[in-house]
A and B are shown apart, each in its own frame.
Chain A
Amino acid sequence: MTTEKTISLEINGRFFQAREGMTILDVAKREGIPIPTLCYHEALESVGNCRLCMVEITHPDWKGWKGLVTSCLYPVEEGLQVTTDNKTIWNTRRTILDLLLARCPDSDVIQKLAAEYGVTVTSYRKNDVETKCILCGLCVRVCAAKGANAISSAGRGIEKMIARPFDQPPPDCIGCASCAHICPTGAIEYEDTPEVRKIWGHSFKMVKCESCGRPIMPEKQLEFEAEKSGLDPAYFKTCSVCSQRKSIDTIRSAFDMKAVGLGEPVEVAR
C-alpha cells in the first residue's frame, strides 16, 4: 500500500496528519479550515498569483522566525505551525482585495469578497481601463489542461493581460469555452446561438444533436475531443437528454429483460 511519509503539523493550534507532498491548503481544505482563494483550482497546477491564501508559518526550530507563505504552494513539513487567520494575514488579504477592487471596481465577485474584509470602496486609484480580469490565470491553465493551449498571458506588469497570440483569433482554440466557465469573475465572454459559438474572435460552427437538434459543441472541439479520447465521434453527437431518451427507448423495446446488474458488463445497444 502507500509508502509515503506521514507528516504531522499544527494548524491554528490543532494537530493534523498529512501525506508528504500535500500543501497546507490541501490539509486545510480536507479539514474544513477556511482559506480564501481566487486563483486556486484543485485540478490545475497552483501558481500563487492571487496571494489571498497566504497563511503565517513558523516552526519550533526556526528561532522565532515567522512569515507569510501561499498555502496553495507550501508543502507540509514535520512540525510546521500554521496560522490561517490573524491580524497580519487579515490585513494582507484586505490590502490585496482593496488593490483588486481598484483594478476591477465593477466585478461583483471582488466587491463581495472585498466587503467581507471591510472594503466597499477601494482606497486606491481606480483602473482607467474597464476590466473584470484579475489575471488569476485559471483560463490559461485550464486551456493547457484541455490540451488546446490557445491563450496565454501577454505583456508585463500592470499592462499584462490574457491574450490571443498576436491579438488574432487563436488558431489552437477549439471553442470549448472552458476558460469562460472557470473564470472566477466572469471576465471572459462568449456568445452562443443555435448555429455558432463566438469566442476569442472565432465563430465556431456548432454540432447539433442528431436527435433533437440542440447545439452540443463546436465542430472543432468535437474533432479535438474524439481524437484526444480515442472515442468514436458518434459519442459526441447526441445530447445527454437524447442519450437518456434512447436508453429508455431501448429498454422499453426490450422490456422482457430480467434485471440490469450494475458494476457488471451491460449490453445496451446505442
Chain B
Amino acid sequence: MQKTLTITPSRCTSCRTCELACSFKHAGKGGLGIARIRTFMFGEGKNQILTCFQCDEAACVKVCPVEALSRNESTGAIEVNEARCIGCGLCSIACPFGHMNHDGTNGIAVKCDLCGGDEPACAAFCPSRALEYR
C-alpha cells in the first residue's frame, strides 16, 4: 500500500520545523524560502500546511516540454528530473495551487518529492504529528 503524507491542521503549531527540515534535506542548508513545504497562520489555532498534492491529472506534467516531470510509481510523487529541466518555468505557472517553485540560481524546477520514499523529513521532524507519513 502506498503511503500518504497526511496533514492534520488542528495539530499544527506553525513552528516551521517542517520547512527547516525540508530545506536541510534538499538543499543541505537551512533557509525557509527554499523549502518545498510552507506553513501558514491564520489566527489562534488556525494553522495550515501547504505542499504539493501530487495531483493525478497534474498540470505541471502536462505542460513540461521536455518530460522533466514524471511520477515515481513507488511513492506516487511527481518528481523533477533536474538534469532534464530546462528552467522554462511553465510548470509553476500552470500549477493552479502555486506549489511549484524554482531554484533562484539556475531556474530549475523545485517541488516536493516525498523524499523519494524515505519518511519525508517534514513528517519525521514534525513535533506535533501534524504531518504524518503512513
Contact = CB atoms under 8 A, between A and B. Distances in A.
- The answer to whether any beta carbons of A and B sit under 8 Å apart in the complex is yes
Interface of A: 29, 41-44, 142, 145-147, 176, 178, 181-182, 216-217, 225, 228-231, 235-236, 238-248, 251-252, 255, 257-266, 268, 270
A248 B48 contact: yes
B50 A244 contact: yes
Given A244-B99, A263-B76, A41 B86 contact: yes
A41 B88 CA distance: 14
A236 B59 CA distance: 10
Given A178-B88, A235-B94, A243-B95, A262 B51 contact: yes
Contacts of A264: 4
Contacts of B6: 259-262
B94 A268 contact: no
Contacts of B84: 41-43
Counting chain B CB atoms within 10 Å of each CB, the highest count among A29, A239, A240, A258 belongs to: A240
Given A240-B95, A243-B98, A259 B59 contact: no
Interface of B: 2-9, 38, 40, 42, 46, 48, 50-56, 59, 62-63, 65-68, 76-77, 81, 83-88, 90, 92-101, 107, 114
B63 A217 contact: no
A260 B68 CA distance: 27
A242 B53 CA distance: 17
A231 B9 CA distance: 31
Nearest to B50: A247
B111 to A, nearest CB: 11
B54 A263 contact: yes
Contacts of B77: 263
A245 to B, nearest CB: 7
Given A235-B94, A247-B50, 5 more contacts: A43-B81, A216-B93, A228-B63, A244-B98, A268-B53
